Amino acid sequence: MLRRRRIAALLFLTPWLIGVTVFFLYPLGMTVYLSFTRYSMLDQPELVGFRNYEYLFTKDPYLLQAIRNTGWFIAIMVPAQVLFALGAAQVLTKLKSGAGFFRTLFYLPSLAPPVAATIAFVFLFNPATGPVNQALGFFGIKGPLWFTDPAWAKPGLVLLALWGSGNLIIILLAALLDVPKELYEAAALDGASGTQSFRHVTLPSISPVLLFAVVTGMIGAIQYFTQAVVAGSVASGSADITPSAQLPGPPEGSTLTLPYWLFVQGFQRYNMGYASALAVVIFVISLAFTVVLLRRKSGFAQVTS
Amino acid sequence: MKSLAAVAAALLVCAGCVPSVGGQEPGDPQVITLWHPLKDPNEVKAVRAALDRFEAAHPGITVKAVPAQDADKVTQAIRGGKPPDAALSFNASSVGAWCATGAFQDLGPWIQRDKVDLQQIPAAVRSYTEFEGKRCVMPLLADTYALYYNKKLLAAAGYSKPPKTISELTAMTKRLTKFSADGTIEVAGFVPYLGTYHSGADLFAAAFGATWLQPDGSANFADDPAFQEMLQWQKSLVDWFGVEKLALFKAGLADEFSSQHAFNTGKIAMMLDGEWRTSFLTNDEAPVDYGTAAVPVADNKPGLYGAGLIGGNIIGVPRGAANPEGGWELVRFLSTDTEALVHFADAMHNVPTTLPALNSPRLDLSREPEFAPFLAAFRHPRSTSQPATSDGGAYLAQFGQFADKWQQGKVPDLAAGLRTLDRQNDDALRLGS
At residue A298, the pLDDT reads 58
Q: Are A275 and A262 in contact (CB under 8 A)?
A: yes
How do residues B44-64 score in pLDDT, each as one tens digit? Answer: 999 999 999 999 999 989 999
Range of the domain at B352: 27-143+310-379
Is residue B295 located within the same domain as residue B420? yes
Q: Are B58 and B26 in contact (CB under 8 A)?
A: no
Quick one: what percent of chain B has pLDDT higher than 90?
Answer: 73
| Number of domains chain B contains | 2
Give the residue from B271, B126, B301 showing the smallest Cα distance to B209: B301
Is residue B200 located within the same domain as residue B93? no
Residues 6+ apart with CB under 8 A from B184: B245, B248, B249
At residue B113, the pLDDT reads 96
Instruction: Calculate mean pLDDT across residues B364-368.
Output: 94
Residue B97 or A179, more confident: A179
At residue B16, the pLDDT reads 41
Is residue B223 located within the same domain as residue B238? yes
Instruction: Calculate mean pLDDT across residues B123-152.
Output: 94
**B397 pLDDT exceeds 60?**
yes
Q: Is residue B16 part of a domain?
A: no
Q: Provide φ and ψ at B378, rounded to 5°.
A: -65, -35
**Which residues from B are below 8 Å from A122, CB to CB?**
none
At residue B21, the pLDDT reads 41
Q: Is residue B2 part of a domain?
A: no
Quick one: what percent of chain A has pLDDT higher than 70?
Answer: 93
CATH topology of domain A64-300: MetI-like fold (1.10.3720)
**B186 pLDDT exceeds 90?**
yes
How do residues A13-42 score in pLDDT, each as one tens digit? Answer: 999 999 999 999 999 999 999 999 999 888
B248·A128 Cβ contact <8 A? yes
B186/B265 Cα distance (integer angstroms): 11
Is residue B135 located within the same domain as residue B148? no
Mean of pLDDT over chain A: 88
> Cα distance from A202 to chain B (closest Cα, Å)?
46
Q: Is residue B4 part of a domain?
A: no
The pairing of strands B290-293 and B137-150 is antiparallel
**A305 pLDDT exceeds 70?**
no
- Torsion sign (Cα): A133, A135, A137, A143: negative
Band of the pLDDT at A243, cuts 50, 70, 90?
very low
DSSP state of A272: H
**B19 pLDDT exceeds 80?**
no
B400·A246 Cβ contact <8 A? yes
Which amino acid, one-letter code, is at A285? I
At residue A240, the pLDDT reads 52
Is residue B164 located within the same domain as residue B130? no
At residue B209, the pLDDT reads 96
Q: How far is CA B416 from the centre of its chain?
A: 31
Q: Say which of A41, A149, A245 has its CB closest to residue B393.
A: A245
Which amino acid, one-letter code, is at A75? A
Residue B159 or A268, more confident: B159
At residue B94, the pLDDT reads 83
How do residues B229-254 score in pLDDT, each as one tens digit? Answer: 999 999 999 999 999 999 999 988 98
Residue A298 or B111, more confident: B111
Instruction: Tell me the helices (H) and strands (E) count for chain A, helix number first.
Output: 16, 2
CA distances from A60 to A51, A64, A265, B235, B396 (A): 12, 8, 11, 27, 16
At residue B28, the pLDDT reads 62
**A51 pLDDT exceeds 60?**
yes
At residue A163, the pLDDT reads 93
- Torsion sign (Cα): B222, B228, B229, B234: positive
At residue B14, the pLDDT reads 42
At residue A177, the pLDDT reads 93
For testing the chain A interface, which of B75, B401, B407, B427 should be mutated: the one with the most A CBs within 10 Å? B401
**B27 pLDDT exceeds 70?**
no
User: How would DSSP label each residue in B115-178?
Assistant: T--GGGS-HHHHHHTEETTEE-EEEEEEEEEEEEEEHHHHHHTT-SS---BHHHHHHHHHHH-E
Q: Is A217 exposed, middle or buried (0-12, 13-18, 19+ CB in 10 A)?
A: buried
A241/A45 Cα distance (integer angstroms): 28
0.80 surpassed by pTM: yes
Mean of pLDDT over chain B: 90
Instruction: Tell me the helices (H) and strands (E) count for chain B, helix number first.
Output: 18, 11
**A242 pLDDT exceeds 90?**
no
**A200 pLDDT exceeds 50?**
yes
Band of the pLDDT at B158, cuts 50, 70, 90?
very high
Is residue B117 located within the same domain as residue B202? no
**B23 pLDDT exceeds 90?**
no
Which of B354, B379, B404 represents a domain boundary (last residue)?
Answer: B379
Which amino acid, one-letter code, is at B285? E
Gyration radius (Cα) of chain B, Å: 24
Q: Say which of B196, B248, B256 has its CB closest to residue A145.
A: B248
Instruction: Calculate mean pLDDT across residues B136-164.
Output: 96
Hey, which residues 243-302 in chain A have their CB within 8 Å of chain B? Answer: 244-248, 250-253, 267-271, 274
Is residue B148 located within the same domain as residue B214? yes
| Residue B87: strand pairing partners | B35, B316
For testing the chain B interface, which of A37, A40, A246 should be mutated: the one with the most B CBs within 10 Å? A40
Which of B357, B379, B401 represents a domain boundary (last residue)?
Answer: B379
Which amino acid, one-letter code, is at A60? D
Residue B17 or A178, more confident: A178
At residue B97, the pLDDT reads 85
**B289 pLDDT exceeds 90?**
yes
Is residue B279 located within the same domain as residue B395? yes
**Which residues from B are below 8 Å from A270, CB to CB?**
97, 101, 390-392, 432
B296/B168 Cα distance (integer angstroms): 8
At residue A238, the pLDDT reads 60
3 state SS for A192-237: CCHHHHHHHHHHHHHHHHHHHHHHHHHHHHHCCCHHHHHHHHHHCC
Return the minimum-mean-pLDDT range out of A220-229, B93-102, B281-290, B317-326: B93-102
Q: Is residue B11 part of a domain?
A: no
Give the residue from A146, A164, A145 showing the smallest Cα distance to A154: A146
Hey, which residues 367-406 in chain B have their CB within 8 Å of chain A? Answer: 390-394, 396-398, 400-401, 404-405
Is residue B353 located within the same domain as residue B209? no
At residue A286, the pLDDT reads 86
Residues 6+ apart with CB under 8 A from B353: B121, B125, B139, B140, B141, B142, B312, B335, B341
**B371 pLDDT exceeds 50?**
yes
A228/B83 Cα distance (integer angstroms): 32
The pairing of strands B86-89 and B30-35 is parallel
Return the minimum-mean-pLDDT range out of A137-151, A225-239, B252-266: A225-239
Is residue B413 located within the same domain as residue B286? yes
At residue A246, the pLDDT reads 59
Q: Give the residue extent of every domain in chain A.
A: 64-300
> What angle in degrees, to the nearest 10, is found between the helix axes of B394-407 and B225-241?
40
Is residue B98 located within the same domain as residue B180? no
Band of the pLDDT at B142, cuts 50, 70, 90?
very high
Q: Are A150 and B409 in contact (CB under 8 A)?
A: no
A244·B393 Cβ contact <8 A? yes
Instruction: Calculate mean pLDDT across residues B120-135.
Output: 91
Asked if A124 reaches chain B (Cβ–Cβ under 8 Å), the answer is no
Band of the pLDDT at B3, cuts 50, 70, 90?
very low
Is residue B296 located within the same domain as residue B163? yes
B346/B161 Cα distance (integer angstroms): 28
A206/A118 Cα distance (integer angstroms): 31
List b or e across B370-385, with b for residues whose CB sees 16 or more CB atoms inside 10 angstroms. bbbbbbbbbebebbbb
> Cα distance from B26 to chain A (closest Cα, Å)?
31
B24/B1 Cα distance (integer angstroms): 24
**Whole-complex ipTM:** 0.77
Element (H, E) at B185: strand B185-190
**Which residues from A are below 8 Å from B250, CB to CB?**
148, 237
Residues 6+ apart with CB under 8 A from B399: B201, B205, B212, B221, B421, B425
Instruction: Read off the CATH number of the domain in which B299 is found.
Output: 3.40.190.10
